Structures are given as structure tokens and as C-alpha cells.
């Protein structure tokens, strides 16, 4: 019988385990709530954003020329985009079984596509605060930190799925099988690839 919670070398844990994913989801919900507050200020629904450290700095950042240019390009405020992305992190994090790195690679990779670029964008926005805007936004820094933590926590699961798909390809060299493995179909070839991965030595 398949052990859904088997650890995946080179890790000493299962990167798809609920103990790994629930903290990611909860932290993503926190970031979404913070981004909602920042978005409300950018949309003019509240008079000021909360900032216990930089005072009016947050308001200056959120209504800066840089923020307005981003709105002009994207058609949506960056904080509102953050709400959507963080909620996506949470929803994708909750979906699937503790062995979704094998049974739902498409879901894990989609999760990674949502989490990892968001972390990169957060770093870019922090750099914009430092070198372009010249002011700091406390809650923006908090969400940027959360984004980096999410990247750190999510990467091992994304890597596990990619290693599994690579083994499917290496053992079979069949694009059709690789495509079916990506979408989570069951096949003896896929089980063989998974068992090869699980049999590897831990780092």
C-alpha cells in the first residue's frame, strides 16, 4: 500500500505533508489580510494605512508615482494584486493529498508558479521603496518577508515534483508518458519512477 507520508530524499520529510502545507496556507492568509488593508487605502476606502514604525511613510509609498505607474500598467493596484496572489497561495496549498508531489505535479508546479514569482516581485518592490520612492512601508515589508518565507517553505515540494517528472522522462523517454505523469495519471512506469526517487539516499 502506498505510504502517502513517505519522506522524499534528499529531504528527511515529506514536502507535501499537511504539517508542511498548513503553515504556508495560514501565513498566506495573513499576508492576504494585510494586503487587503493596503489595497483599501490605495482604492481610497480608508483615509490612512496603519504604520507603527514609519508613520506617513506607508501612505507615501502606496500613493507614490511608482505605485501609480504600476497601476497604469497593470490596471490594478499592486496591493490588490497581492491579495489575489496570496489567496491563490492559500487555496493551492490546501488542495491535494500528502502525496501530491507525485499524484498532482501540475498542482504543485502551479503552486510554485504562484509562490516563487511573488517572492521575487516582493523583493523588487522593497528595492523600489529604497532607491526610487525614498520612503518605507512597514506592512509592505512584512508581506515581503512573508513572501520570502513562503518561497523557502514551498521550494522543497516543487523540487520533489520536478525530480519525479525528470525520473519519468529519464526512465522512459516518452513525451506522452511525461505529459500523463504531469497531470497525475496512474501507471506502472510512474510508480517505478516514484519508488526510484524514494529509494535515494538522504542528504
**How is the chain split into domains, by residue range?**
18-154
Average pLDDT, the chain: 93
Mean pLDDT of 86-115: 95
Grid cell for residue 146: 512573508
* The pLDDT value given to residue 74: 86
Residue whose grid cell is 494586503: 35
Q: How far is CA 1 from the centre of its chain?
A: 31
pTM > 0.85:
yes
Check if the beta carbon of residue 169 is closer than 8 Å to that of residue 178: yes
Q: pLDDT at residue 2 above 80?
A: no
Q: pLDDT at residue 3 above 90?
A: no
* The pLDDT value given to residue 202: 58
| Rounded-to-integer distance, Cα 3 and Cα 83, Å | 35
Q: Name the superfamily (CATH) of residues 18-154.
A: VKOR domain (1.20.1440.130)
* The pLDDT value given to residue 85: 93
Q: pLDDT at residue 203 above 50?
A: no
Amino acid at each position: 500500500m502506498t505510504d502517502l507520508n513517505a519522506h522524499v530524499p534528499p529531504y528527511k520529510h515529506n514536502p507535501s505533508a499537511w504539517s508542511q502545507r498548513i503553515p504556508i496556507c495560514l501565513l498566506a492568509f495573513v499576508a492576504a489580510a494585510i494586503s487587503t488593508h493596503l489595497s483599501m487605502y490605495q482604492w481610497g476606502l480608508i483615509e490612512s494605512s496603519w504604520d507603527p514604525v514609519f508613520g506617513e511613510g506607508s501612505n507615501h509609498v502606496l500613493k507614490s508615482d511608482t505605485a501609480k505607474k504600476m497601476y497604469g500598467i497593470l490596471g490594478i493596484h499592486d496591493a490588490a494584486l497581492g491579495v489575489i496572489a496570496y489567496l491563490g497561495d492559500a487555496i493551492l496549498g490546501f488542495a491535494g493529498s500528502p502525496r501530491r508531489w507525485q499524484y498532482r505535479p501540475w498542482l504543485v508546479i502551479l503552486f510554485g508558479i504562484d509562490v516563487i514569482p511573488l517572492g521575487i516581485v516582493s523583493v523588487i518592490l522593497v528595492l523600489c521603496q529604497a532607491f526610487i520612492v525614498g520612503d518605507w512601508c512597514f506592512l509592505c515589508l512584512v508581506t515581503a518577508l512573508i513572501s520570502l518565507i513562503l518561497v523557502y517553505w514551498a521550494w522543497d515540494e516543487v523540487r520533489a515534483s520536478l525530480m519525479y517528472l525528470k525520473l519519468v522522462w529519464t526512465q522512459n523517454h516518452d513525451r506522452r508518458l511525461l505529459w500523463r505523469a504531469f497531470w497525475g495519471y496512474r501507471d506502472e512506469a510512474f510508480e517505478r519512477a516514484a519508488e526510484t526517487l524514494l529509494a535515494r539516499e538522504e542528504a
